[in-house]
Structure 1
Amino acid sequence: MGDFKVGNEVYFAWDGEPYTVKSGIITEIKCLGDLTYIKIQDSITHGIYRVLLEEIYRTESEIKAVLKREFYVKVNEVKKDIHTLKDLLKFMYNNDLTIDEDDGHCVREERVAVRELAKEICGIELGE
């Protein structure tokens, strides 16, 4: 990670919305015990974020690759115990896979896992 300096543009994931990449300029670097915090001013909203050093990246493509890996680890965790149509139907029955129309919230990892399993097990394309 190292060698970040005040004034560098960096990229980070925003905890408030999973898999959302934000960018900004480092305004301060602080060490608190074993942790190094980076204060970043958002490039669009100009809000200030405190992010751990190990959670910032130099390029957008770097962080997107990390987020994609993390996403598919979670998708594969959902898929690991679903092997048959029976398993898939039980999972779909016991989990809410709908998208909330008010805020667009859903468990994306579960929706992607079900979409992939429907294709693998049944040959059915569910769309997005």
Structure 2
Amino acid sequence: MCKFKVGDEVYFIPCNLSYYESFHGVIIRFKQSMDQKRKFAVIRCGHGRFVREYHVLPENLYHTEDEVLNILRQKLRSKIDEVKKNIHTLEDLLNFLYNHDISVDAAGKGDDYCVWEERIAVRELAKEICGIELGK
């Protein structure tokens, strides 16, 4: 990992997000953790009224959007593979579908929420097991 300094524009993945999105901003300072064991970067993102600060460990910072997108793809692929690992037959797939709601907006909040790794895994498994294309 390259060293980062105050003023660098960086890309990162906020640790509290459950979806796959990268953010970028400028390092405004470095701080020590309360226990003095870790150092983290304070990143300012946004403009005008929509400015937000994030605290990010240096090992989670990237110089380019491509770097962070590759990490996000790897994490998503890993979660998809985890869903798929115990589904080998049509019966397994149907049992999974019976016990999981993979529809978009499954929570009924109107915000298009769904568990994307499960939805993608089912789409891939339908193709692999049944030869059925479910779409995008």
Fold shared by both chains (TM-score > 0.5): yes
Alignment match, 1:27? 28
Unaligned runs of 5+ in 1: none
Between 18-27 and 42-51, report the one with greater CA deviation: 42-51
CA distance in 1, matches of 2:18, 2:83: 20
| TM-score normalised per structure 2 | 0.88
Aligned pairs (5 A) from 1:1-128: 1-14=1-14, 15-16=16-17, 18-32=19-33, 33-44=36-47, 45-100=50-105, 102-128=110-136
More strand per residue: 1
Unaligned runs of 5+ in 2: none
Percent of pairs identical after alignment? 48
3-state SS of 1:18 partner: coil
* Residue deviations 1:67-99 (CA, integer Å, cap 9, x gap): 100111000000000000000000001101111
The amino acid of 1:29's aligned partner reads F
Shift in Å, 1:50: 1.0
Report how many residues are paired: 128
Whether the 8 Å CA contact 1:25–1:43 is kept in 2: the answer is: no
Q: CA RMSD in A?
A: 1.4
